[in-house]
Structures are given as C-alpha cells and as structure tokens.
Amino acid sequence: AQSVTQLDSQVPVFEEAPVELRCNYSSSVSVYLFWYVQYPNQGLQLLLKYLSGSTLVESINGFEAEFNKSQTSFHLRKPSVHISDTAEYFCAVSLMFSGGYNKLIFGAGTRLAVHP
C-alpha cells in the first residue's frame, strides 16, 4: 500500500535561513508526488508536482523539491525563508484507480514556523 511519511511535525526556523521539509513515500509502482501548502483557516494550494522527467522541480516562490527514487524521498527545500512562508506543508502521492482515476494520499503535515 502506498503511504507518505513526513518526518518532522514542526520545523522552527529564523527568517532568511534555509529550510528542508522531509518526505518519504512507499510505493511499488510509478509515483506522482506533490507538495501542498495550507495557510491558517484556508484550503490546500498546490506548491509543486513531480510527474516525470527532471528530478528537481521548482515553484514560483522559491521552493524546490527533488525526487530521489533510490531513497524514496521527495524533500522540499528553500534557501531563504520569509515570514510569509509560515504555514502547514503536506506531501502527497497519487494512487491510481482503474480507468485512470486517482486519489491523493497525504502525509500528516509539517508546520513551518518562521521567526523574525
């Protein structure tokens, strides 16, 4: 069965410092991986996705994630965080149904707290 493990429930960091949010997945088939961000009292926003091709994917706001098949990981990184990056971050993997439909399986989330 596919599953997602986010290794840190909370990550405190100072503004302008680098950060890494860790995600490991288990799957025996081709994987499609995602990072979503959830700001307080809001829904989830798609941050970036890995479908195929280059193992390094980037978002428009400076985040990047690297797909590592041998380590079954999809860690999220940012070289310099801002106060506005404070949010809950969810790693997810897509599980296919027959007919080409799918559901997302989420990790428990990592709360990123950026301090001035």
Partner 1 sequence: DAGVTQSPTHLIKTRGQHVTLRCSPISGHKSVSWYQQVLGQGPQFIFQYYEKEERGRGNFPDRFSARQFPNYSSELNVNALLLGDSALYLCASSSPGLAGGTQQWQYFGPGTRLTVT
What part of residues 19-48 is at the interface with partner 1 (CB under 8 A)?
A: 32, 34, 36, 42-46
On whether the CB atoms of residues 67 and 33 are closer than 8 A, the answer is yes
Nearer to partner 1, 57 or 114 (CB): 57
103 is a site residue for partner 1 (CB under 8 A): yes
Pick the piece of the chain touching partner 1 (CB under 8 A) from 11-19, 54-62, 69-77, 99-107: 99-107
Instruction: Residue 50: count other Cβ atoms within 10 Å of its Cβ.
Output: 19
49 is a site residue for partner 1 (CB under 8 A): yes
11 is a site residue for partner 1 (CB under 8 A): no
Burial 13-26 (b: 16+ CB within 10 A, else e): beeeeebebbbbbe
- Whole-angstrom Cα distance, residue 72 to residue 102? 20
End-to-end CA gap in the chain: 41
Residues that bind partner 1 (CB under 8 A): 4, 32, 34, 36, 42-46, 49, 51, 90, 92, 94, 97, 99-109
